[in-house]
């Protein structure tokens, strides 16, 4: 499966403190804003999302159809194809995308330790 760009989405208590911390590690703001309560930060090909009061736990995030620069890629596995592959493998999904839809969509599942994994397609 082609899963797309990968990032970790962190649930943070203080967006500004987290921003300053990750800037010291060499990250810079790539997308989002303080006003929107989230920042996507990048250091080379590594992406970290900082989200304030949007969800309770950290999430592993894949963006089918995007590269690490949030640019569309011509050849990718649509989230509906990924969903069917996961279901065929016997993986239980917590949230599904309508298999008859097209374009943006997302699916959510949990690994054996309860970590959230989000497939969030924007195109």
Instruction: Return the sign of the alpha-carbon dihedral for residues 114, 4, 121, 54.
Output: positive
Residue 46, pLDDT score = 96
What integer is the mean pLDDT of 92-115? 96
Give the model confidence (pLDDT) of 12-67 as tens digits.
999 999 999 999 999 999 999 999 999 999 999 999 999 999 999 999 999 999 99
Q: First and final CA of the chain: distance in angstroms?
A: 17
Q: How confident is the model at residue 117 (pLDDT cuts 50, 70, 90)?
A: very high
Of 25, 1, 11, nearest to 60 (Cα)?
A: 11
Separation between Cα atoms, residue 26 and residue 37, nearest integer Å: 21
Give the model confidence (pLDDT) of 73-95 as tens digits.
999 999 999 999 999 999 999 99
Residue 70, pLDDT score = 93
Domains and CATH numbers, the chain: 5-121 (3.10.180.10)
Residue 83, pLDDT score = 98
Residue 51, pLDDT score = 97
Residue 100, pLDDT score = 97
């Amino acid at each position: 499966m082609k899963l797309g760009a990968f990032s970790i989405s962190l649930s943070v208590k203080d967006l500004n403190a987290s921003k300053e911390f990750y800037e010291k590690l060499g990250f810079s703001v790539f997308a989002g804003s303080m006003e929107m309560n989230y920042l996507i930060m990048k250091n080379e090909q590594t992406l970290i999302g900082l989200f304030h009061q949007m969800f309770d736990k950290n999430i592993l995030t894949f963006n089918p159809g995007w590269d690490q620069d949030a640019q569309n890629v011509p050849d990718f596995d649509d989230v509906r194809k990924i969903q069917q592959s996961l279901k065929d493998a016997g993986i239980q999904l917590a949230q599904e995308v309508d298999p008859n839809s097209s374009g943006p969509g997302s699916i959510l599942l949990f690994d054996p330790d309860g970590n959230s994994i989000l497939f969030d397609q924007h195109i």
